[in-house]
Chain A
Amino acid sequence: MKKIALYLCVILSVAACADSPKGNLVKIGESVCIFPDYSEVTIPRNIAPTNFVIDNDADAYRTILTNGDVSVTKSGRKICFGSKDWNRLTNGTGNAISVQIQLKKGAQWGALEPFNIYLSDDSIDQYITYRRIPVAVESYEILDMCQRDITNFKEKIFFSNTMVQDNESGTCVNCHHCGNYSASKMQFHVRQFKGGTVLAINGELRKVNMKTDSTMSAGVYPSWHPTHDYIAYSNNKTHQSVHAMSHDKLEVIDEENDIILYNINENAVSPIETDSSELECFPAWSADGRTLYYVSAHYEAPFGPERKSRIFLDRKNLHFNLYAKPFNPDTRTWGPHYLVYDAEAADSSMTWPRLSPDGRYMMTCISTHGIFPIDQIASDLFIFDFKNGTARKATEINSQYAESYHVWSSNSKWIMWSTRREDGVHTRLYFSHIDENGNFSKPFALPQKNPEFNRTNLFAFNIPEFMTEPIGISAREFAEFISENDAVPAAFESKRETDESGVLITTDYRVDGTTSASAIGKGQASEEMYLH
């Protein structure tokens, strides 16, 4: 038996050596082609193995990865790491994994220019959530909301619409979001059949209908207040249409938008911004919760059946600017809004403001027009650095295709966003590290067990969110709760707002899109309310 094992060892060793380079390697002039492109990227040490496939043509492949005194050798086109090898490499003494790919062409072995995968000591949140959907226009059938442990490859569907909808009545799920990166403060919307906004707070489930007689729609794009039990939502009347002839295939437009505040404890909504000549959308809280950022485009057209077709014709003139509105969370009192970035002046449109938890950065999307960046090839990421007082396009991470829905990690060191950079259509999740100077590292794709996953998978992955803990509620629990419970209607409250002179006014919002305001007092707003 021992002899057999010995022979086997010898045979295997000989076989292994037979196809490996001997002597000095010829330098191959061609550039490294790997997929996903992990060359010269910066990754956190705690991320899952960055498996990749080599696209350079060759008869045999050998890849040597080294970090300090740790070395791992792989053969074949597909470079996949076991957790043991990967942990050794990422925890090596150096701050980069050097990768040398050797190719055998004919009888000759050669080496490509080595590249590095830089290791950052800034860790990344262990979990992300996203919605996995088929690329679609109007129909939907399977919409999965998933949580992925990005330190490995484990993915769990935490809810799927297919667990609720029946043969004839469809259920859409969207806009999952959590407060402070916590699984104990979660929400997502269920639309149509068994619809309502589902809130999961400390393991307790609640389904709310935020559409009131005084609001145009239920809550849509959410932003959970960082310190208090409030969620800011936009109200949207959304439509979409197909481009008859364009690389941009779809256009999504809101006919009307407003912003509301949902008070979780009182189950009540109140208006925040409801100007009928403004399309206000995408609320986002500052890190201290004392300012609400949002975007808005000025648009005047009569309300009625013609408005929808008119706004599509006017789509190129819809330029969303960035605004901020002070808020006192203790008194729930708002100050007057002010312009932060005039995108219209630059003939562009700014959407999706997202602030870093440390308060230093705000990232937005910037595009030529409109409100739905993921369907616009021209959509890029844009970064505000409040510390340095700069605002610029994040050129180092933008691509030729659409960038959208970005989110900051809880330590403000990483961003994740959805991008169509790989083929222009399928949305994929990418990451980048931001350094002390506000510069981004080269973007890298969410690692997958099968490195060709992004090439072959026909689903889109959108609305990524970071989370620091696993979701404790099972898909079945969500499904049973949603199926068995009707949405509880939210109450409607007036808005409390001060004007520029400090007069407190309340605003009631009506469904016809107009507002009525009346002054009721003075001096409710403190000075600190305007600091952010």
Chain B
Amino acid sequence: MKKITGKLAAPAIAAILWAILTFTQSEVLLKTSDLSLFLFDWTFLKESFMIPGGFLGWAGSFFTQFLYIPWLGALLWVAMLYAAGHLTVRAFGIPSKLKALAALPVAALVIANMSLGYGMFIMRPQDYFFAPTLGYLLILGIISAVRKAPLFWEKTAIIAVSAAAGFIVSGVFALAGTLAAGICVLTEADNDCAEMNNGKKTGIAILSLAFCIAAPVLLYGCFTRYRLADSWSMGLPSISDDEWTVRIRLSYWFMLGLSLLFAALMPTLKKAVAAKSDKVRFANVAISIIAVLSVATFWYKDANFKAELKMSLAVDRSDWEEVNDIYRQVSTKHLNREKKALEKRKAAISVTGTPEQAQFVVKEYEKCFFQPTRLMVMFRDLALLKQNKALDTAFTMRDGAKEQKSLTQIPMAFQAGRQLYMHYGLVNMAYRWCLEDQVEHGWSYGTLRYMAAYATLLNETEFAAKYLGKLDRTLFHRNWSRKQRPLSADIQKMSQELPYREIIPYMSFSDRMSNDLVKCETYIMKHFAEDRDAVASPEFDRAALLWAMRTQNINLFWKALSQYLSTASDINLPKHVQEAVILYSNLEKEDLGIPIDKSVKDSYAVFNEYFQHARFSCEAEMPASVWFKFGNTYYYYYYFIRGLQTF
């Protein structure tokens, strides 16, 4: 029974991992795929040889494309991890009673990918999901090959080839494999090769170390794309920030270090295992638990991040209903819990004596209430505008500016600049962020698609053809490309198709020189406030009015309202606009005679009445307290949503 349990443990864990990835992380996998690129193209392969480890990246990109079908991509990765675990046991000769040791490097590989979170947007290159796993398999392959080679010269030859050729194709992974193989030969007691004496073993170990040091130096002259000092980290993913890079590389260093450690200590471990079977069993279980707990601990978990990813994928499809549904789901998921938290907070505040103490309690409870990131709000507003619902419903939903759960805040421009700008008709800025993205992180399916869409929108046929031509050479995006090709040559057709027909109305503005200073939201806000053409579309004016309301600037609102009225087909003002009119008219003590529905007049009266009598211990208590009452009005937004930080 124990044997069966032992045999089934690894497949069961693999199956669970696959299920978790498929059913709970599909948006992460899809986005990972969208941020990568693999072309069925000879040049694409040749270019991979421009840096050591490039070929490994090429192979990694090949597999990454399958994440487009999350269950399939997850299956491939889990299969590789399973193979890695199995081969770790064989390559290092891990005793069967201590098999759990093999879970440690595998756990490191899982953590490396699944702890990334927002780091996925700034990783380079974008082949990181599969490449290190393949690299680890190569390490195991080198160790196995050296161990199995019976003769001294055969082992030496394999070590030489794996250091030189291996370095070219896989960078540091081959070096680690070579060094680990050398150590294995040195420490292995029951070596298959009878003719190997200690001198020869030492010789091989020294040779492997020498090759690891010399190969990158000697081969450096063949390359022109990196610094010599970086030779011993080639093949490892990085981020253009040292702190991030160290963090993401910790897992890989741990994995590479384990390889060397296993190679060095395995004979000693084997002896220990033979002697102390009870303790070994305990150690085996403990190691398994540590591996699983480590994965669970470091696995990136953040509802806002996942919601952003899902919304982003829906924006790519112009599926505005889906964008709103995702927002609605995530913002109302814990309403009951929030109500209870509000009660508890109220009770806690009631026993405080000073406003400072009350404020402290409010802060303590802050995390109990849902707060979206700015990007979620931006996606939501965009979707509502596209559906012509924004001026009736945008302020009925939660607002906020929750910081990303991330080592550093990734600017919205990096994450979704091209999407927001493109769908708001700011096509040159979308183009700009596509370029910045490809320069920093390389081309991706997403960037190519947006570049093609950009060129199509501007009727730059040859320019569009360049990117469509690339997408033609992909596995999962060629159909999209084929559908776009006729549109890029025919304005009429293009203007009737999604997403173009929804973008064109927003393009009614004058040219100006501009720089967003990496702040999308501020730029868009300023754009709608200042760039309107003499003749604008109703869509543009609706967006301008919404953005004017977001600024909470009364003068800007009146200006945007008059422009809105000049193009609006419906004479009845939307709900939030009426709320803003009644609010601003009262604040300015001026009645412009704009008709307001009775329901709005009543709600404003209730709002005023409430605040004439309501008492709060401190100002910070108010927003969450009254959200359940007035959170669906513009008045609430005007008074309580202030000082949001965008980036």
Contact of A241 among B507, B509, B513 (CB under 8 A): B513
Nearest opposing residue in chain A for B473, CB measure: A456
**How many whole Å from B426's CB to the nearest CB in chain A?**
7
Known contacts A141-B440, A167-B240: A251-B513 contact under CB 8 Å: yes
Known contacts A244-B426, A458-B443: A163-B225 contact under CB 8 Å: yes
Nearest opposing residue in chain B for A140, CB measure: B439
Docked complex: B125-179 residues within 8 A CB-CB of A: none
> Can you add 18 more A-B contacts, CB < 8 Å, to A162-B224, A244-B514, A456-B470?
A134-B438, A139-B435, A141-B439, A162-B225, A163-B227, A243-B513, A244-B426, A245-B428, A249-B431, A251-B513, A312-B513, A315-B513, A423-B466, A424-B460, A426-B466, A450-B43, A455-B465, A455-B466
Whether the Cβ atoms of A245 and B242 lie closer than 8 Å is no
Query: Chain A: interface residue count, which band?
Result: 35 or more
**Assembled-state Cα–Cα distance A455/B41 (Å):** 14
Nearest opposing residue in chain A for B443, CB measure: A458
User: Within 8 Å CB of B348, what residues of A?
Assistant: none
**Assembled-state Cα–Cα distance A159/B227 (Å):** 12
Whether the Cβ atoms of B242 and A163 lie closer than 8 Å is no
User: Within 8 Å CB of A456, what residues of B?
Assistant: 41, 43, 466, 469-470
Residue pairs across A and B with Cβ atoms less than 8 A apart, 11 shown, are A142-B225, A166-B227, A242-B513, A244-B429, A245-B427, A246-B428, A313-B513, A424-B460, A455-B469, A458-B466, A458-B470
**How many whole Å from A371's CB to the nearest CB in chain B?**
14
> CB-CB contacts of A133-160 with B at 8 A, as 1s and 0s?
0111111111010000000000001011
Whether the Cβ atoms of B463 and A423 lie closer than 8 Å is yes
User: Within 8 Å CB of B507, what residues of A?
Assistant: 245
Docked complex: A421-466 residues within 8 A CB-CB of B: 422-426, 450, 455-456, 458
B238 beta carbon closer than 8 Å to chain A: yes
**How many whole Å from B532's CB to the nearest CB in chain A?**
12
**Assembled-state Cα–Cα distance A425/B225 (Å):** 25
User: Within 8 Å CB of A157, what residues of B?
Assistant: 224
**How many whole Å from A304's CB to the nearest CB in chain B?**
19
Contact of B436 among A136, A160, A241 (CB under 8 A): A136
**Assembled-state Cα–Cα distance A166/B527 (Å):** 36
Known contacts A135-B435, A138-B436, A244-B509: A475-B514 contact under CB 8 Å: no
> CB-CB contacts of A222-248 with B at 8 A, as 1s and 0s?
000000000000000000011111110
A34 beta carbon closer than 8 Å to chain B: no
Whether the Cβ atoms of B224 and A167 lie closer than 8 Å is no
> CB-CB contacts of A313-325 with B at 8 A, as 1s and 0s?
1010000000000
Whether the Cβ atoms of B436 and A168 lie closer than 8 Å is no
Chain A CB count within 10 A is highest, among B225, B240, B465, for B225
**How many whole Å from B450's CB to the nearest CB in chain A?**
14
Nearest opposing residue in chain B for A315, CB measure: B513
**How many whole Å from B248's CB to the nearest CB in chain A?**
12
**Assembled-state Cα–Cα distance A139/B431 (Å):** 13
Give the 6 A-B residue pairs with the shortest CB-CB distance, closest first. A423-B462, A241-B513, A139-B439, A157-B224, A423-B463, A245-B511
User: Within 8 Å CB of A245, what residues of B?
Assistant: 426-428, 507, 509-511
B278 beta carbon closer than 8 Å to chain A: no
A395 beta carbon closer than 8 Å to chain B: no
A474 beta carbon closer than 8 Å to chain B: yes
Please report the number of residue pairs spanning A and B whose Cβ atoms sit closer than 8 angstroms: 122
A476 beta carbon closer than 8 Å to chain B: yes
**How many whole Å from B427's CB to the nearest CB in chain A?**
7
Query: Chain B: interface residue count, which band?
Result: 35 or more
A53 beta carbon closer than 8 Å to chain B: no
User: Within 8 Å CB of A138, what residues of B?
Assistant: 436
Contact of A168 among B242, B435, B513 (CB under 8 A): B242
**How many whole Å from A166's CB to the nearest CB in chain B?**
7
A20 beta carbon closer than 8 Å to chain B: no
A73 beta carbon closer than 8 Å to chain B: no
**Assembled-state Cα–Cα distance A456/B467 (Å):** 8
A83 beta carbon closer than 8 Å to chain B: no
**Assembled-state Cα–Cα distance A164/B226 (Å):** 7
Known contacts A139-B436, A167-B242: A243-B428 contact under CB 8 Å: yes
Contact of B511 among A135, A144, A243 (CB under 8 A): A243
A479 beta carbon closer than 8 Å to chain B: yes
Nearest opposing residue in chain B for A450, CB measure: B43
**How many whole Å from B134's CB to the nearest CB in chain A?**
23
Known contacts A139-B436, A242-B514, A423-B462: A476-B221 contact under CB 8 Å: yes
A515 beta carbon closer than 8 Å to chain B: no
**How many whole Å from B30's CB to the nearest CB in chain A?**
24
User: Within 8 Å CB of B515, what residues of A?
Assistant: 241-242
User: Within 8 Å CB of A425, what residues of B?
Assistant: 460, 463, 466
User: Within 8 Å CB of A479, what residues of B?
Assistant: 227-228
User: Within 8 Å CB of B440, what residues of A?
Assistant: 139, 141
Whether the Cβ atoms of A160 and B225 lie closer than 8 Å is yes
**How many whole Å from A38's CB to the nearest CB in chain B?**
18
**Assembled-state Cα–Cα distance A455/B461 (Å):** 12
Contact of B238 among A167, A251, A315, A475 (CB under 8 A): A167
**Assembled-state Cα–Cα distance A488/B509 (Å):** 50
**Assembled-state Cα–Cα distance A456/B44 (Å):** 11
Docked complex: B419-451 residues within 8 A CB-CB of A: 426-429, 431-432, 435-436, 438-440, 443
**How many whole Å from A93's CB to the nearest CB in chain B?**
37
**Assembled-state Cα–Cα distance A246/B462 (Å):** 17
B71 beta carbon closer than 8 Å to chain A: no
**Assembled-state Cα–Cα distance A246/B427 (Å):** 9
Nearest opposing residue in chain A for B448, CB measure: A458
Contact of A422 among B438, B462, B470 (CB under 8 A): B462
User: Within 8 Å CB of A137, what residues of B?
Assistant: 432, 435-436
Docked complex: A231-275 residues within 8 A CB-CB of B: 241-247, 249, 251
User: Within 8 Å CB of B510, what residues of A?
Assistant: 244-245
B25 beta carbon closer than 8 Å to chain A: no
Whether the Cβ atoms of B462 and A424 lie closer than 8 Å is yes
B192 beta carbon closer than 8 Å to chain A: no
**How many whole Å from A299's CB to the nearest CB in chain B?**
16
> CB-CB contacts of B365-384 with A at 8 A, as 1s and 0s?
00000000000000000000
Nearest opposing residue in chain B for A456, CB measure: B469
**How many whole Å from B565's CB to the nearest CB in chain A?**
25
**How many whole Å from A296's CB to the nearest CB in chain B?**
22
**How many whole Å from B474's CB to the nearest CB in chain A?**
13
**How many whole Å from A121's CB to the nearest CB in chain B?**
34
Whether the Cβ atoms of A136 and B227 lie closer than 8 Å is no
User: Within 8 Å CB of A164, what residues of B?
Assistant: 227
Known contacts A244-B426, A249-B431, A455-B469: A483-B224 contact under CB 8 Å: no
Known contacts A137-B435, A458-B470, A476-B220: A241-B514 contact under CB 8 Å: yes
**How many whole Å from A245's CB to the nearest CB in chain B?**
4
Whether the Cβ atoms of A168 and B514 lie closer than 8 Å is no
Contact of A136 among B435, B469, B512 (CB under 8 A): B435
Known contacts A160-B224, A455-B469: A247-B435 contact under CB 8 Å: no
B241 beta carbon closer than 8 Å to chain A: yes
User: Within 8 Å CB of A136, what residues of B?
Assistant: 435-436, 439
B343 beta carbon closer than 8 Å to chain A: no
B458 beta carbon closer than 8 Å to chain A: yes
> CB-CB contacts of B185-227 with A at 8 A, as 1s and 0s?
0000000000000000000000000000000000011001111
Docked complex: B212-264 residues within 8 A CB-CB of A: 220-221, 224-230, 238-242, 245
Whether the Cβ atoms of B470 and A474 lie closer than 8 Å is no
Chain A CB count within 10 A is highest, among B426, B438, B440, B466, for B466
**Assembled-state Cα–Cα distance A499/B436 (Å):** 49
Nearest opposing residue in chain A for B515, CB measure: A241
User: Within 8 Å CB of A246, what residues of B?
Assistant: 428, 511
Docked complex: A393-433 residues within 8 A CB-CB of B: 422-426
B531 beta carbon closer than 8 Å to chain A: yes
**Assembled-state Cα–Cα distance A135/B515 (Å):** 17
**How many whole Å from B585's CB to the nearest CB in chain A?**
34
User: Within 8 Å CB of A139, what residues of B?
Assistant: 435-436, 439-440
**How many whole Å from A522's CB to the nearest CB in chain B?**
48
